[in-house]
Amino acid sequence: MALKRRYRWPLSILFSLTFRIGFAVGWLGIVILFIERSDVLLAALMIVVGTGLFVVSFSIYDRIISPTWVVDHRADTVRLWRPTGPEELGLVEASGWRAWPPRLPDQPIFYPVLSREYAETIARDWNVKRSGVGYVTTFEVKQSFLDRYQIQQVGGRGILEYWIPAEDLAEMNQNIVGLIEVVAEYR
């Protein structure tokens, strides 16, 4: 399970410490074993403890970077995010916050994303430059509808989105549970 951002920095410090201490203790044990040869039991204990700390550090690291976009296939719905500009948001508002507008002819795919951070980056870096304002919206879609589509990784580890063909958008709108909500605005 992914951690909230505010809990990641203490774990980052803990990862760094356990990694370095484990590495140092393990190497010190090896040095004692091969150079000193005085206390084999102490050296072996240091190697085991160092290796254990080293392994624990990577367990901590996995908790830090575990993705926030993991889809729980046992859930009934999946929360998606969508960066949008003012024109598209106006059309969503006109639908009563229940549907995304049809795609334009040069837009064959609807791209909802799986993380708020990724949506915020697009809204802030693209929508603001293009139209002076960028919005981040969120909505939930029935898992049964999304099971037809693969999650597409379009960049780094957290840059994930669904590619919904334009001809399937009306059906996706019927599978939205609740309302589309605006959660952030950038100018």
Least confident of 37-51, 82-96, 134-148: 37-51
Give the list of residues 6+ apart from residue 51 with CB closer than 8 angstroms, or none. 22, 26
The helix (run of H) or strand (run of E) holding residue 177 is strand 176-186
Where helices occur in 66-147 by DSSP H, the ranges are 86-94, 116-122, 128-131, 143-146
pTM above 0.85, yes or no: no
Confirm if 3 and 60 have CB atoms less than 8 A apart.
Answer: no
Give the pLDDT confidence score for residue 46 in this predicted structure. Answer: 81
Strands 151-153 and 160-162, by their bridges, are: antiparallel
Give the pLDDT confidence score for residue 4 in this predicted structure. Answer: 46
Tens digits of residue pLDDT in 105-120 = 999 999 999 999 999 9
pLDDT band at 1 (very low <50, low <70, confident <90, very high): very low
Give the pLDDT confidence score for residue 56 in this predicted structure. Answer: 75
d(CA 12, CA 60) in angstroms, rounded, equals: 8
Tens digits of residue pLDDT in 7-61 = 555 666 776 777 778 778 878 888 888 877 777 888 888 888 878 777 777 666 6
User: Between 80 and 22, whose confidence is greater?
Assistant: 80
Indicate the average pLDDT of the chain. Answer: 84
Q: Which is nearest to 172 in space by CA: 112, 122, 120?
A: 112
Alpha-carbon distances of 57 from 41, 63, 72, 98, rounded to whole Å:
24, 10, 26, 45
